[in-house]
Amino acid sequence: MKAEINEPTKTKPTIPKRVSLSTSHNSAKGTAGSKSAGNTPSSSPLVSKDVLTSKNVQKRRNLKEELNIDDEEVINVDGLDEVTASEGGLSTPKGQCPCFNTGSKNALLIKCVKCTQAFHPTCVNLNGLTKAIEKRSEAEAFSDFLKIFPRISQCNEELKESASTVEFFNEHIKHLVINEDSYKVQSQKLNHMETEIKLIKQGMDRLSKLSQEKNELEIPKLEILKQMQVQLQDFIRSNDNKDSKELSECSAGAIKDALADINRFGLLLEKNSSSIRLEIDSLKEVIHQQVHAKEEDKKSNEISFDRIDSIIADINAQLHSISDHVCPKGSLGVAVNVDGDRSDMQFSPPLTPNTASPHLVSTLPTQGPACDPYIKYVEDVVTDDLREKLLQVLETSSADFTSVGGSRDVLYFGEHGYWYTGAYHKARTIPLEIQDLIDCVRPSLPNTRSWINSCLVTRYRGPNSHIPMHSDNEASIDPESDIITVSIGQERTLKFIHTASSAESSLTLKNGSVYVMSRLSQEIWKHGIDPLEGLNEDTEDLNNVDQDQLTDHDIERPADSLMNRDEVRYSFTFRHVAPFFKNSTVIVGDSNTKYIKFGKDAGTLGKWLPGKRMWAAKIGDIPSPKDIGPYRNIVIHSGINDIRDDFNRASNRALIGQLKRKCDDIQKFYPNAKLHLSLLLPTKSPHVNVRVRELNSLFIDFVFNRNNMFVIDNSVLGTQNGCMPSKYGRFLRNGTPLANDVVHLGREGLRLFCMNIKRCIVQRGERQSVERFRGRSGDYRDALIRGGRSPIFHRS
């Protein structure tokens, strides 16, 4: 550093002082007050330690306040306070300036390197030097700031990290609170349901008491009547035998009339009491079903209760680990619970995560029956009278029968037209006699599920008449119904074969009997009737008929007169048949499918999409095929609950594996059903959406590698960023969007979701293209693609 003398001092004119700091300078005293331009000191001057320290302390204080860093850590910087010693040239003011001005205690003095005389910088005209020294201290402060900068940035990073951990922690507390709320709601519902069940049970008890009382009242009356009847008959017989003159013709007639009246009255009473009994029985049945349904409901609620419990326990366990992470010493640190009171936090012990889902194991036996070939067989259900009437009606409408397979004929009655063995049978009103037959057999089949709207009459002309092994699995039959068949005429044997194991079973069909098969059993068993005498060449294959290709074929059959009434068998098969059952749909899904309604009114999926909903909160909860039922369309919408939980969530690979097993089971059981996999819906949380996108990509990949499986694309429910906009979510009553609920659809969202499902089902058969999911611009699909996580999008 050079000390320049720039201008003469004006401060002390009485004693001119000049100092030369050059190496050639001999006596500071002798040249005091004179200029010595261009001279430089041989070494750097020393700056007063006190001055430097006070400036730096101020700077550091500012820095400390700005960064909010502990005093000790920031101030304790090496080197800054020890600049002076080794550099020489300036010293602490031991000597005095020859100006004799000692007014300022901290005045800076400059010592001559040769003669050690001290001077005020101003006295030797060194103002510039003072500034330079000040600047130097600033530069040094800056360089020191640079030295500690990495530490500051590190502190900053750590702060940020803690902030995000705290945010995460708070998020979980929020979940905990939400879960607690739903816990309370569920518990209220459960209590309510329990009261309802109690009420229904009380009602049932009252009813069965009533029915007993009724019977007790009616039976003695009937008994008395019967006794009277016997007495009168005896009386008439004895009088007839005696040929008594006392008994006039007239009184005998009156007694006979009375007897007839009593008979009629007795019959009426019997009929009434049996119809009352039937009514009470069916009422009881309905109530039983209701109680059962309520109890099932209660059970399923209890299951979700367990789930809530386990979720809360999981969250608690995770809160523990987060709190350990944030505050290793065990205090809860900056995170507080909703009340702000840390001591209130209660942690219950974590539950062991349920890794072995029972649903992972297929419940279907690979061999052997999964259900019985028929549900019920009852003999003598048709009265002789009705049988005779039916035979007469059928014999007079013989010409209306259509010959099938060469040995039997069919005649169809029903609300809707019906395709059967390659022929279309148009709708035709069920005759009164056949309606009587329904009324006649119904009391024998109290638990049968059938809303009969059709009757197929089959005429087996004689011993050679037969029907090949087949299943009644037509798409137009109600998937949840039973098939009822009444036999009249020649006794025949119905054979059953279990399709998977080839196990056989048979049932003798007596004249006047009825048997019931479930629609589900048609997926497992085949049935048929062999000819009684030697088998004719049989080319008929009922289950391999392309119904749209074949037309009605009428094969020559013997004239009615050649048919022997004793050898003929008529079967009356009652079914619930309608064209819209071809679209029958089961929706297996999570809470976003909970409010989807089936039916024909506004707000439902409509008459042309009949079906039912089934609960599957997670992929592992998808029910077994047998429980799902023989629906034409099976929609699966599960998975968000498998991934939205930050902890204990299954890996995508495990989930796809689980889904594959479920779909394999379903498709093996129902090879003709169409399986629709609904993509996970966008949520309001970008954090969850990352996983939604990942799993959806794998879903798409999965579906396009399988047959008879389709994707329901829900991208329309997302914004450009792939988030669910609040307009599709839930709202409070006052119209505020429910920000806390990030996954559930509101009314509008649900409407769109239903439209997507409907569209996918109605477009069945149209091959979906994976290209469609590559997207174009501005929607969820694109967000999915921009994520670039799916292998599907990298395939050529």
Ligand X SMILES: O=C(O)CCC(=O)C(=O)O
Please report, as ranges, the residues that interact with Fe ion according to CB under 5 A: 472
Backbone angles phi, psi at 165, to 5 degrees: -65, -40
Pairing of strands 513-518, 482-489: antiparallel
Q: In terms of CB distance, is 485 or 638 closer to ligand X?
A: 485
What residues contact 160, with CB distance under 8 A and at least 6 apart? none
CA atoms within 13 Å, Cβ hemisphere of 737: 15
User: Hey, is 547 helix, strand or coil?
Assistant: coil
Question: Which entry of Fe ion, ligand X, none binds 587, CB below 5 to 8 A by partner kind?
Answer: none
Q: In terms of CB distance, is 315 or 509 closer to ligand X?
A: 509
Q: In terms of CB distance, is 467 or 723 closer to ligand X?
A: 467
Q: Could you identify the residue written with the tokens 């019977």?
A: 215
Cα angle at 441 between 437 and 442, to 5 degrees? 110
Question: Which entry of ligand X, Fe ion, none binds 319, CB below 5 to 8 A by partner kind?
Answer: none
Query: Cα–Cα distance between 525 and 517 in angstroms, integer?
Result: 10
Closest alpha carbon to 419 in 571, 582, 572, 540: 582
Encoded one letter per residue, x for contact with ligand X by CB under 6 A and - for no contact, window 510-549 reads -----------------x----------------------
Q: In terms of CB distance, is 119 or 374 closer to ligand X?
A: 374
Instruction: Give yes or no for a contact between 486 and 513, defined as CB atoms under 8 angstroms apart.
Output: yes
Min dist. Cβ of residue 573 to ligand X (A)? 5
CA atoms within 13 Å, Cβ hemisphere of 631: 26
Instruction: Give yes or no for a contact between 542 and 470, defined as CB atoms under 8 angstroms apart.
Output: yes
Question: Which entry of ligand X, Fe ion, none binds 456, CB below 5 to 8 A by partner kind?
Answer: ligand X
Instruction: Give yes or no for a contact between 692 and 700, defined as CB atoms under 8 angstroms apart.
Output: no
Min dist. Cβ of residue 574 to ligand X (A)? 11
Q: Which residue is nearest to ligand X (CB)?
A: 571
Segment 436-475, which members bind ligand X (CB under 6 A)?
456, 458, 467, 472
Query: Cα–Cα distance between 765 and 708 in angstroms, integer?
Result: 8
Q: Which residue is nearest to Fe ion (CB)?
A: 472
Min dist. Cβ of residue 369 to ligand X (A)? 18
Q: How far is CA 115 from CA 32, 39, 110, 112, in A?
A: 12, 16, 12, 6
Q: In terms of CB distance, is 431 or 468 closer to Fe ion?
A: 468
Query: Cα–Cα distance between 620 and 640 in angstroms, integer?
Result: 12
Pairing of strands 674-678, 709-712: parallel
Min dist. Cβ of residue 491 to ligand X (A)? 12
Min dist. Cβ of residue 532 to Fe ion (A)? 18
Question: Which entry of ligand X, Fe ion, none binds 485, CB below 5 to 8 A by partner kind?
Answer: ligand X
Of these, 571, 584, 667, 696, which contacts ligand X (CB under 6 A)? 571
Question: Which entry of Fe ion, ligand X, none binds 335, CB below 5 to 8 A by partner kind?
Answer: none
Of these, 56, 125, 485, 583, which contacts ligand X (CB under 6 A)? 485
DSSP state of 679: P
Closest alpha carbon to 702 in 641, 656, 650, 761: 656
Q: In terms of CB distance, is 25 or 527 closer to ligand X?
A: 527
Question: Which entry of ligand X, Fe ion, none binds 28, CB below 5 to 8 A by partner kind?
Answer: none
Min dist. Cβ of residue 472 to Fe ion (A)? 4
Min dist. Cβ of residue 458 to ligand X (A)? 5
State the DSSP string of 501-536.
Answer: T--EEEEEE-TTEEEEEETGGGGTEEEEE--SSSPP
Query: Cα–Cα distance between 567 and 407 in angstroms, integer?
Result: 13
Min dist. Cβ of residue 581 to ligand X (A)? 16
Min dist. Cβ of residue 467 to ligand X (A)? 5
Question: Which entry of ligand X, Fe ion, none binds 316, CB below 5 to 8 A by partner kind?
Answer: none
Q: Which amino acid is at 711?
A: V
Question: What tokens does 401 get?
Answer: 């029968």
Is 573 an interacting residue with respect to ligand X (CB under 6 A)? yes
Min dist. Cβ of residue 527 to ligand X (A)? 6
Q: In terms of CB distance, is 480 or 642 closer to Fe ion?
A: 480
Q: In terms of CB distance, is 423 or 494 closer to ligand X?
A: 494
Instruction: Give yes or no for a contact between 792 and 697, defined as CB atoms under 8 angstroms apart.
Output: yes
Enumerate binding residues for ligand X (CB under 6 A): 456, 458, 467, 472, 485, 494, 527, 571, 573
